[in-house]
Amino acid sequence: MELFDLKANLNTVGTQLASVEKEIMNKAADPNASIEDVRALKQKKDDLKERMDILQNQHDSLEREQKAKIQASLQQAKAGVSEGLTSSDPKTQKTSAKAGLIRATMRKEVPAQEVRAALGDGNGTGGEKLLPKTVSEELLLEPFVKNPLREVSTYTNVTNLELPKVDFTLDDDSFIQDLETAKELKVEGSSLSFGRHKFKVMALVSETILAATDTALVSTVERALQSGLAAKEKKVAFAATPVAGEEEMSFYAAGIKEITAADQYKAIKQAIADLHEDYRENAKIMMRYSDYMDIVETLANGNATLYSAQPEQILGKPVVFSDAAVSPIVGDFRYSHFNYDPAITYESDKDVKTGENVFVLTAYFDHKIKLKSAFRIAKVETTP
């Protein structure tokens, strides 16, 4: 089991334990409550505590092991820094080249020809400030801030991308059995074009980090930029009130059909059923973890076994959690498509308030919901 899985399991069991402890206090203070109920809750608490201790021990052991590996890797990288670009190790060469690119940018200088060549960019002038292709592609991976859509949506890196909304056609256009899809294609057309929405991500770089090892400098800057890209993607895709010009990038403002029911569990179930079978087969549910736990608590009604069930067993489809999903989104997320313009640029500045150096990345991207009929928004009926 990976470390992040253990952290998630610890959080789940910890939430259950806190809930049981609160329930014990309430029952103990209630003179009408049966003492047998209190004893049963205490036994449940002991079981959860034992589970948590087992998970915690395994978590701590794995965390120590990973920290030791990271420390050993850093020491190894530090020992090889002096070799720089002359190292025979391609990975060390690339790390040194990235560090050279960052340091040159922070000094308002043009990166050396060999630095850009090591990054797969033959242009040594640097005048256009285009980020080397290998670096710009890597910025879409493994950020600190996670965008759960990266696990399920489609991502491309193509200039002026145009795509058909459906992947195939037949000589008889009545082959589309979903009437909502047919209507959507008739009204909005059968193809879509991706735009270029500009935004900037700024990585703060202290003097100590700038003077640190190549590995420390590159990892700090890359993770900051990666996190900024992921945070921006998540912000526009889940915006309840998007800024002007970004409405079609948001699930909640793009005109997706809403399914309402008395509670969230029923709304999600009905939303799944309302999808055409072409989309229902690969459908997933994007929702907040807190909303999911509320559903489980309601369905469990004191039965602890339901808490250990997989979300797919409870809701009928795989679940992807995101706190930004204020209303559950149900659908085939292959029709959620992010496209980046390869021309990601970079520059440097200085934060006059803090005195820190700033590595600035300018990116252009668009998020299109290729077929609105492939999704549903699950909502709870509002009482007048």
- Residue with the larger pLDDT of the pair 372 and 68: 372
Residue-level pLDDT at 320: 95
- The mean predicted confidence, pLDDT, of the chain is 81
Whether the predicted pLDDT of 148 surpasses 50: yes
Residue-level pLDDT at 325: 95
Q: Where are the beta strands (DSSP E) in 298-344?
A: 319-321, 329-331, 336-340
Q: Where are the beta strands (DSSP E) in the chain?
A: 154-156, 162-164, 191-193, 197-205, 258-261, 284-287, 319-321, 329-331, 336-340, 345-350, 357-369, 375-380
Average pLDDT on 18-37 reads 85
The reported pTM is 0.64
* pLDDT tens per residue across span 280-338: 999 999 999 999 999 999 888 877 778 888 999 999 999 999 999 999 999 999 999 99
Residue-level pLDDT at 129: 62
Domain 129-384 has CATH 2.60.40: no
Please classify residue 94 by burial: count the beta carbons closer than 10 Å to its beta carbon, then call 0-12 exposed, 13-18 middle and 19+ buried.
buried
Stretch among 100-114, 124-138, 180-194, 267-281 having the lowest mean pLDDT:
124-138
Residue-level pLDDT at 330: 97
- Residue with the larger pLDDT of the pair 48 and 250: 250
Residue-level pLDDT at 94: 78
Q: In the numeric block, which tokens belong to residue 123?
A: 């242009």
Residue-level pLDDT at 106: 75
Whether the predicted pLDDT of 123 surpasses 80: no
Give the start-to-end residue ranges of the domains of the chain: 3-79, 82-128, 129-384
Q: How far apart are CA 37 and CA 27, in angstroms?
A: 8
* pLDDT tens per residue across span 228-254: 888 999 999 999 999 998 999 999 999
Residue-level pLDDT at 58: 84
Highest mean pLDDT among 94-103, 107-116, 315-324: 315-324
